Amino acid sequence: MEESTAPPSGRTRVRRHPERARYERETVRAILDEGLVCHLGFVADGTPFVMPTMYGRRDDVVYVHGSPASRMLWTAARAADVCLTVTLLDGLVMARSAFSHSMNFRSVVVVGRAVEVTDPDEKRLAFEALVEHVCAGRWAEVRQPSLKELAATLVLRLSLDEASAKVRAGGPKDPEEDLTLPVWAGEVPLRVRPLPPVRHQGLPEGVPTPAYASAYTRSGWTA
């Protein structure tokens, strides 16, 4: 049995198409682990903003990072709730009627108060989570961040205590009266696939391309 989150709060309960809701912690983690970009929503000086950024997960915490001058991070680090979302697009759903067209997707919404990470050890763990999230196996090879680099980076931690997922899968849901229309209907699956890696022009000869680059893959991807 999957480990469950706490019962959904009023802020994370799925209201539109509740049958698509997923509150299991493992489902939330799996979607976060497959995604690469999140969008962080916050309010600054009375104006709402939604900004894309990279992220990394470690256990039941999501980390985001950037410059201390970042309005997004500076605002999120203050005493205010934020909303973090991740969406994976799995396919285009073509129905017989314009009204019934849709998309297949998996998404996660996390709501809560972000906390600034000040402990150097946790900051380093956050850096590792961010690098490994993008490319598993990379952290062991690269130069580790210096104390100066750690100090020059603002890292925020957001708990998964208030999180929910939403999933749509399958074909179109045309009304019965449209099923006999001579219009093609079905799904166009969409997948993210890596291209061959491109060596940097300054890379010394003899440095091999690592397998995690030449055969790049992510959690949840299938052949």
> What average pLDDT does the chain have?
90
Instruction: Give 22's pLDDT tier (boundaries 50, 70, 90).
Output: confident
Please tell me which residue, 69 or 131, carries the higher pLDDT value: 131
Given a cut of 60, whether residue 112 has pLDDT beyond it is: yes
Instruction: Give 2's pLDDT tier (boundaries 50, 70, 90).
Output: very low
> Residue 47, Cβ neighbours under 10 Å: how many?
7
What's residue 156's pLDDT?
94
Please report the beta strands in 171-219, taking only residues with DSSP state E, as ranges in sequence order.
186-189
- Ramachandran region, residue 66 (left: φ > 0; alpha: ψ -120 to 50; beta: rest): left
Alpha helices in 35-182 (DSSP H): 71-77, 120-134, 147-151
Given a cut of 60, whether residue 161 has pLDDT beyond it is: yes
The domain ranges of the chain are: 18-173+185-214
- The half-sphere exposure of 211 on its side-chain side, counting CA atoms within 13 A, is 1
Given a cut of 50, whether residue 136 has pLDDT beyond it is: yes
Residue 119 is classified by DSSP as: -
Given a cut of 70, whether residue 3 has pLDDT beyond it is: no
> How do the residues of the chain divide into helix, strand and coil, expressed in percent and rounded to 5?
20, 35, 45
Instruction: Give 1's pLDDT tier (boundaries 50, 70, 90).
Output: very low
Structure tokens at 135: 């490319």
Q: Would you identify the CATH topology of the domain 18-173+185-214?
A: Pnp Oxidase; Chain A (2.30.110)
pTM: 0.89
What's residue 19's pLDDT?
77
Share of the chain above pLDDT 90, in %: 75
Nearest-angstrom CA–CA distance, 167 and 19? 9
What's residue 70's pLDDT?
80
Instruction: Give 79's pLDDT tier (boundaries 50, 70, 90).
Output: low
Alpha helices in 21-146 (DSSP H): 25-34, 71-77, 120-134
